[in-house]
Every structure is written in structure tokens, then in C-alpha cells.
Structure 1
Amino acid sequence: MTIKVEMTSLTTIQKVLASPGIGSFFFDDQAAIKAGARREGAAYVGRAETHGFKAVREPSESVSVMLVLSDGYIAKGDCASVQYTGAGGREPRFHAAELAAQIEQQMARHLAGLDVRHFRETAVYAEKILEDSFGAKRAAAYGISQALLDAASHVAGHHSMAQVIKEEWRIEQPIGVVPIYGQCGDERYTNVDKMILKGVPVLPHGLINTPHLVGANGETLEQYVKWVRDRIAQLRTSDHYHPVIHLDVYGLIGACAGGSIEATADIIERLERAAGPHSLGIEHPMDAGSRDAQIKALGALRQALKSRGSKVAIIADEWANTADDVHLFAEAGAVDMVQIKTPDLGSLHHAIDAILDCHRHGVGPVLGGTCAETDLSARATANIGVATGVTQMLAKPGMGFDEGFSIVFNEMNRAVRLAEALR
């Protein structure tokens, strides 16, 4: 298949440029952290365990892709990878200078002269080129597809990436506001205060990434959930503010429960009681070591909780790394929600397909990503969220909360207001 067009009346790509950049947090070696690497200030002390890492914590990197169009417009997107790159079946970490050079050297000749009107077609075309020769093909496809979406929006004349998505995927529902999900990072108390004061609908994430944050039988995490519940009651300025409590526990509840489904359910039930009257979501409650085993384990856990009358939402994260993976989790009914971790899926068209697939199966799509992304990638994916009506989407990038929340919140409202005005 080729979709190159050389007609001068069309808007085409003239040059492909790429510059190395940084992400908004760090790349962390999850295997080394789980093996006991010691936190010391902002750093970790210990030996790297994951391929591609020289240290347990390294600055996250990005690559800005710039497509110079024939009408002079420069479309942009940022390549990025997740904080725990190389873990849970994910692509290994990339190095920005190398990836930027490879994009300029190998993509320019393929993309030059490409008609950029139709995002979905150009994204599929670019991804096929990347498959053949790029080690960091998902990270590269992520950034290139953002630039192609930006280009398609520019050519369409309405300057809305959300509208391009809505039209190309024939989505009937209107572009609209969706709940934003806050991420507190290590500031598990101060940043929760900020979230409550700003009325964030889903909080706090919690970054429950070490066993001591859970406790031997979940007691430590239970106390934290009670604190969050009480803090909401103390700080909220309206009785109508009733956020969902959502915790990402990195498989550690299951680990603390010795891998037992029933013991994991016991802990989650106590957390649900502690969260009341707020709804509770638990992301990645246990890690079974592979995609198929994860689907089976989460399905069993979900059924065990339902049989007890629990309404806790079980959310898949690790091992749902591709649109095909997401489909299998959703089709199996193993979870209530799936995080669509956008850098893991690569080209943006996969994230859109995965979200719509979740809707078809009655599973809530959580449009996620990572603290290690950039402002450009966050804005592009915010347009996906409002176009597809996701259950919730992550405030990103960074771990400071305020910055990521403002980027996603403002882009969401820009897209919604434009859709209303141009209807």
C-alpha cells in the first residue's frame, strides 16, 4: 500500500525534523526497585536490573518530531515512553539522541511528499515503515502519529484534533468533557490536598509502588485510604463534590497476599469499607507474570469480589500493552476498566481503536499514559479522550500534579468549546 501523492495542490510533507528532548519525570528500573533498590532523596541506590538502564533511575527522554508542510505549517508531536519502561512486557527504554537521528535519517525519504489529509491512513503507513527498522518503534510511532494528527487537523481547517478523530472514526457522540484522574506521585498528602481544592473527579493514584506502602495485610494502605476519605470531607467546598478514589498498587496487594485470590479480595474489601461512601478503583491489584495469566487472575479476583457484593472497580494496567491485549482483557470480562497507556500502544490510532473496543464490550477505557511524557503528547491524547468519551483520563505529564492537570484540563476545554462554536 502507498498513499504518497505528489500533486502540488495538496498539502504534503516537505521535511522531517527531530530534536532530542526530556520527559517530565524519570525512567525507573522497576525490577531493581522491586529487588530492593534503596530510595535516597530523588535518586535510587542500587544496581540496574533491566536492559537499557545504567542506573535504577535515569532522566526520562523524549524526541520532538516536526513535519514541515508544503504550506509552511510545522506539525509537531513528541515520542515518549513510560516511567517503568521495559517492564511488564513493554518496549525497552530509548535514548533520545539516537532515536532523533534515526527518525531524520530513515523517515524523511518515506514521508516526503505524503498527503496529510487523512490521519488514520498516514498513521498506518508510517507505522509500517517503523516496524521494519526501529528498535523503539512504539515510542517513534507515538510521536510521529501525534504530528500527523496535528497536520490533519491543520489541513482540515477547523484546527481541532478531536474533530478529526470524531470524523475519521465516525463517532456519533458529541465532543465532551470527561473526568480527569489525578496522579499525586510521592507527595501523597500535599498533592491530595491540591486535588481536592481543585475538584479533581478521580484521585489520588497514590503511587503505591513499594510493599511498605501496603503493609503486611494491607493495614498501611487502609489507613491511607481512610485519610484520603476524611481529607475530602474536611476540604471540599461543596456537598456535590464526591470523587472516586483510585489507587494504582503495582501488583503489591497480591504480592502482600502471597498471590492468593481470596486473600487479595479480603484486603480490597477492607479498602472499600475504608473508602466509603466514595467509590473505589484498584489498578493492577496483582501481577500474574504474563498477559494470559493476568487476564485469568484478574477475572478470578473480579468474580470473587462480586460474589461478596463488592463494587470495587478492578483496572488492568500491566500486560495490556497493545490494542490486541486490551481487546483480550475486555472480551474476557476480566476487568471493569482498562488503562490505555498511550505510549505503550504506539501510534495514536491504536489507542483510539482500543478505547472504542472497550466501549463495545462494556468495559471502561481509562485514557492513561505516564508522568514521563511531555506537554505535546498530553494535549494530543486529551483530544482523543474528549472525542471518544473515555471513562476517565490521566492528568499528565509530571508528578507535580498542578502542571499536568492544567495541561489536560485546559486542552479538554479548548476542544469542547471549539466543537460547540463550530458545530
Structure 2
Amino acid sequence: MQIKDVLLASGNGAFFYDDQAAIRSGATQDGFIYVGEPITPGFTSLRIPASSLSVGLVLTDDTVVWGDMMGVQYSGAGGRDPVFETNQISDLTSRVVAPRLLDVDASLYLDACAKVFEPFEQQRLSLAIEYGVSQALLRAAAYLQRATMAEVVCAEFNLPLPTRRVPIYCQSGDAREVNVDKMILKAVDVLPHGLINSRQKFGVDGQTFMEFVKWVAKRTREIGRPGYNPVLHFDVYGWIGQEIGLEPQRIADFICRVVDTVPGFTINIESPADFGSTQAQIENYAEIVSILDSRGSTARIVVDERCNTLEDIRLFAEARAAHLIQIKTPDVGSLADTAHAVLLCKENKVGAYVGGSCTETDLSAQASVHISVATQADMMLAKPGMGVDEAFSIVGNEQNRLLAILNRRVSKNVS
């Protein structure tokens, strides 16, 4: 077999793990930290530095290919896996996953993933393990086949080689105004996220949020280059429902008012409300989508919380319970499942957004690019981190390098 050893190296994620429940409950900010007692199990404080664990596959010629495991920023919230614990993940990887890796054909990507990610003690492996190991296996397959990771995905899923880039979405973090300016100057496709994760940022009846939306649109017209017309995408972390109630009609009315304030822009509203369970989320989001569509609204609902695994994504897509589904890569697990999820969204005529988290790494972001381009997702997140510049360059440059290779392949095949 082509894998003869497995290496592990602890590392850092590019941002922090945050206790969403405590922040929603009114925790205040003091500089960069949040003040208060943790609510979500596993958190020792409301904001803790993100950790990661790299897994390296040593191939028979001593080449080492890597993948990175980590959790998402709001670990333990909305049905997600608990906070990433490096020692626990390292132990499980060493005891269970490493022996399996030594016994697979690494040139066969989907087959290797299926064998390595079999349940252990009737339980699915940690999604973080699936995520990191699937990156390493994808790089191994690409190396052994002398191809790009995207080409491996295209071959495994019987997809044509793509030639078009995938629109990139940047997130601002708390440095909203400065980062919005950066995004506009760099002509980002989709912006700005906004991190509307507290009552203070949303405002009474959503007035603070509404003013921010208007400011972003105005700023785009003021400093953007001629003809620049990005999609405006705002993540409100359930605060529309928190502030005005969990009634789909009222939520749809509010979203329509938001859209009316910024004519000429396509508006994405992510996580308008949290209805407490996957089933309730599906039913109520489907109703919100139906109301907006019946009015001819240009607003697009994006689901995140309560839509984590491939099975969740299938349920949301089949119910048309969103216009766009965030495929949050570390929550989905294996990158093979992310590819499946994009194709599943397309089958159901629902938008596919390959997302992830600011807590990720350069390696996981680059692997996500290959999945996004190979499957031709509708948009993908600039990651990791919250600084805009770094994430946009990592994801954008990887796309451009990949497309240069793929365009050459296509032109050679044509000639």
C-alpha cells in the first residue's frame, strides 16, 4: 500500500472558538474578549484560541501529504460537534484511524475514505478527523495520479473539467467598516458577513442592522470601481427571530423591508432564525422561502445552523428550505461528503455555498477550493481567519493557480 506511516502535528486554527450560547445570552465584549461565564460544554472561557491537528501521510517514496483537523468557531451550537480537543482527537487518530490508513489504496479516493471512515464502536468518527484525514487522502490521490485535487474529484464523480472560477465570499469579523472597505477595494464577489451575533449589533427591531445594510450599499457605490455590483450577504445568527419572534410571516416581512432599503442589490440573509431543531428549521425555513418567492423578492435565505451533515443538507435541499445551503466543511466531515452535498444541492436546484469557518487553516482552505471548483459550487468562503486579506489571497490565488492548470488540460485535449 502507498501509505507507510502517519504523522501528527499540533497547530493553531486561524481564529478562536466562541461560546455562541453565552454571547446570545448577553455576554459583553471587553476589547477582544467576551466577559461572562461559559454556557456551552467544553468551553473554559467564552473565547478560546482555536487549535488544530495536522495529519501527515508518509507515502512509499517518503513524500508527506497533509490535512488539517479542527472545529468551527461556534462549536457545540446548533447540533454541532463539541469543542475540538487536541489530545482526545490525537489519541483516537493514533489508535483507530492510523492503522486503517496503512491498509488502503490511497490512489482510490472515495474507496479509501469509505474504508477509513467506517464507524468505530457503532459511532461515527469525529467530524474533525474525517475532515482532516479526507484532505490528506485527497492530496495523496492527487500526488499518486499526478493530477490536481480537483481532477481527482472530477474523475471520482464523473464531472467535466471546470473552466470557471467560483465566486468568493469574504467575512468581516468585528472590524466591520475597515474590512468592508478592503472588500470593496478588492472587488470581492460577495460581502460582508457582518457578524451580527448580538442584540447590540442587531438593534431594537433590527434598526442597527438595517442601518449597517444601508451603509454597506452606500459605501459600495462610493468607493467601488464602476460597474462593481457585489452580492450583499449578511449573517444575522438567528437575531431576526430572536428580536421580532419566530413567526415566518413576520420574518419574511422584515427581510423584505431590508431588501427595499437597498434597491439594485441581491441580498443574502444567513440564519434569520433558529427554530431549535433540524425538523423545525426545515419546516419554517421552507415557509419563509415560499413567502419570499411568492412576492418575487430578490432576497435569498441561507441556512447554516441545524444543517450540518450530508443528511441534513439532503433534507433541506429536498424541502427547498433555503435558497442557498452553507456546506460548512468541518461540520460535514469528509470532503467527499462536501462534494456530494454540492451535487445534491444542484440536483434539487438549490444554491450550494461551500463555507467553513474562520478557525480553519491554509491547508483546509486550499483543499476546499478544489472541491468548490470541481463541483462548480455557487460560491465559497474566503478562509481562514477574519482578516479578509489573508483569506481572500489564499482562496483566490489557489483558484487562479488551479484554473490555469485545468485550462491548459482542456486546451490540450481540444487540440
- Normalized against structure 1, the TM-score is what? 0.94
Question: Are 2:244 and 1:254 equivalent residues in the alignment?
Answer: no
1:6-63: CA deviations, max 9, x gaps? Answer: 5xxxxx1000111111100001111111112221111111111111111111111110
Shift of 1:157: 0.8
Match of 2:186 in 1: 198
Shift of 1:173: 5.5
Secondary structure of 1:218's counterpart equals: helix
Counterparts in 2 of 1:135-146, with a 5 A limit? 137-146=126-135
Match of 1:294 in 2: 281
Match of 1:346 in 2: 333
Unaligned stretches of 5+ residues in structure 1: 1-5, 7-11
Question: Are 2:378 and 1:391 equivalent residues in the alignment?
Answer: yes
Q: Is the Cα contact below 8 Å between 2:104 and 2:115 reproduced in 1?
A: no
Amino acid of the structure 1 residue aligned with 2:213? V
Match of 1:45 in 2: 35
1:387-411: CA deviations, max 9, x gaps? Answer: 0111100000001111111000011
Q: Is the Cα contact below 8 Å between 1:23 and 1:373 reproduced in 2?
A: yes
Question: Are 2:145 and 1:153 equivalent residues in the alignment?
Answer: no
2-structure distance, mates of 1:168, 1:176? 20
1-structure distance, mates of 2:261, 2:267? 10
Secondary structure of 2:4's counterpart equals: strand
**Structure 1 range deviating more: 319-328 or 93-102:** 93-102
Secondary structure of 1:132's counterpart equals: coil
Match of 1:9 in 2: none
Pairing partner for 2:204 from 211, 216, 231: 216
Match of 2:368 in 1: 381
Question: Are 2:314 and 1:327 equivalent residues in the alignment?
Answer: yes
Q: Is the Cα contact below 8 Å between 2:170 and 2:192 reproduced in 1?
A: yes
Q: Is the Cα contact below 8 Å between 2:234 and 2:269 reproduced in 1?
A: yes
2-structure distance, mates of 1:331, 1:133? 28
Unaligned stretches of 5+ residues in structure 2: 411-415
Amino acid of the structure 1 residue aligned with 2:368? T
Match of 1:284 in 2: 271
1:153-210: CA deviations, max 9, x gaps? Answer: 000012x101100111001352420100010010111000000000101000111101
Question: Are 2:160 and 1:187 equivalent residues in the alignment?
Answer: no
Match of 1:232 in 2: 220
Counterparts in 2 of 1:25-174, with a 5 A limit? 25-128=15-118, 131-132=120-121, 137-158=126-147, 160-172=148-160, 174=162
Secondary structure of 1:383's counterpart equals: helix
Shift of 1:102: 3.1
Amino acid of the structure 1 residue aligned with 2:232? I
Q: Is the Cα contact below 8 Å between 1:181 and 1:201 reproduced in 2?
A: yes
Match of 1:360 in 2: 347
2-structure distance, mates of 1:355, 1:376? 20
Shift of 1:106: 3.0
Q: Is the Cα contact below 8 Å between 2:66 and 2:136 reproduced in 1?
A: yes
Secondary structure of 1:149's counterpart equals: helix
* Cα RMSD after superposing both structures: 1.4
Rate the CA distance shift 1:53–1:134 in 2: closer, same or farther, 3 A. farther
2-structure distance, mates of 1:263, 1:154? 53
Question: Are 2:394 and 1:407 equivalent residues in the alignment?
Answer: yes
Amino acid of the structure 2 residue aligned with 1:264? I
2-structure distance, mates of 1:422, 1:306? 41
Amino acid of the structure 2 residue aligned with 1:286? A
1-structure distance, mates of 2:57, 2:207? 52
2-structure distance, mates of 1:135, 1:391? 29
Secondary structure of 1:94's counterpart equals: coil
Rate the CA distance shift 1:283–1:65 in 2: closer, same or farther, 3 A. same
Secondary structure of 1:207's counterpart equals: coil
Secondary structure of 1:116's counterpart equals: coil
Question: Are 2:253 and 1:266 equivalent residues in the alignment?
Answer: yes
2-structure distance, mates of 1:188, 1:281? 17
- Normalized against structure 2, the TM-score is what? 0.96
Amino acid of the structure 2 residue aligned with 1:40? D
Secondary structure of 1:282's counterpart equals: strand
2-structure distance, mates of 1:153, 1:330? 30
Pairing partner for 2:298 from 311, 318, 324: 311
1-structure distance, mates of 2:98, 2:313? 32
